Structure 1
C-alpha cells in the first residue's frame, strides 16, 4: 500500500527530461474497451525552444498528437500534429477538448488507478520516460 501511494505521488510530481523540459499535470482518462482509442494529457515547459516529435508506449500501437479545430461548418475535428512546438519558457498544455495525445491500437484498456508509461522524444534528441496516472472515464483533470 505504501509503495503504491509513493508511486502515485511521484507520478504527480513534475518530471525532468533533462535540464530543458519539465512535464507536469500528466494524466490519462480510463478507456471503456481496449478496442477504443484513449487520450492522455500533460503540460510541457521547455527552457529552450524544442519540439515534441514522438510519443510511444508499450500498450498502444500508435500514439499521436492531436489538435481540435473547428471548420467553417462549425464542426470540430481532430487534426494530427506531426511535431508539437515548445516555445522557450512557455507552458504548452494538452487538455480535454484541446490538444491531446491519442493512443490507438491498445493492447489492454486503461484502468482507473493504474499508471500509463510514456516515452517522449524531442527534436533536440532528449528523451523522457514518464508514467502518468489513469483517472476515471469522466475525469477532466488531475486537479478537479
Structure 2
C-alpha cells in the first residue's frame, strides 16, 4: 500500500501538469460586444466594432465577412487638428488587457457591401489573430447589426479618403 501512494501522487502531478499544458495550448482571444452599424439601401460601407482580449500578447491581423467584398482594419486619429482615417496592418492585443474597436479609434471597415445590413440581423465575421509565437487563431463571430445615432460613420464616402496604411 505504501508503494502505491507515491505512484498516485506522481500520476496526479502528471495529470495536473497536462491540464496546465492543455490550458496553455487553448489560450485564445475572447471577443465581446461585437456589432456592426446597420445600413440604409445603397450604402456601400459600414463599420464593425467589438472588444478583444487575448490571453497572451497577440495582434489582430485581419477580418473577413461575406457581407463585404473588402474588410480592412482602420484607425481614426487626429493629426494637425484634422481627423484622419487609414488602414493599419494589425492591432496589438496585450495579454489580459481588453482592446476596444470603436467608432472613434481602431475599427473594422466593411466595404463594397454585397447587401444592406438590416438592423437586428446577424453579420458573420471571421477574425485572424496571431500570438507572439506566430501561431494563428481563427475566430468566428456573429455581430448584431445596430443603429448608431451619434456618428454616421458607415455612410461616410470612403471613395475620396486615403485608405493607404497609416504611418
The interval holding the TM-score normalised by the smaller chain is: 0.7 to 0.9
Structure index of larger Rg? 2
Number of aligned positions between the proteins? 122
Give the drift of 1:35.
Answer: 4.1
Q: In angstroms, what is the RMSD of aligned CA positions?
A: 1.6
Name the counterpart of 2:8.
none
- What is the aligned counterpart of 1:127 among 114, 127, 138? 138
Mapped partners of 1:64, 1:132: distance in 2: 16
The normalised TM-score by structure 2 is 0.68
Q: Which has the higher helix share?
A: 2
Contact kept? 1:31, 1:137, Cα under 8 Å: no
Structure 2 residues without counterparts, runs of 5 or longer: 1-25, 152-167
SS of residue matched to 2:95? coil
Change beyond 3 A, Cα 1:43–1:96: same
Q: Distance in 2 between matches of 1:41 and 1:97?
A: 10
Residue 34 to residue 55, structure 1, CA distance change in 2 (3 Å): farther
Structure 1 unmatched runs, 5+: 1-17
Q: CA deviation at 1:32?
A: 2.0
Residue 71 of structure 1 and its aligned partner are, at CA, apart by 1.1
Question: 4+ runs of 1 displaced by more than 4 Å?
Answer: none
Q: Which has the higher strand share?
A: 1
Match of 1:94 in 2: 101
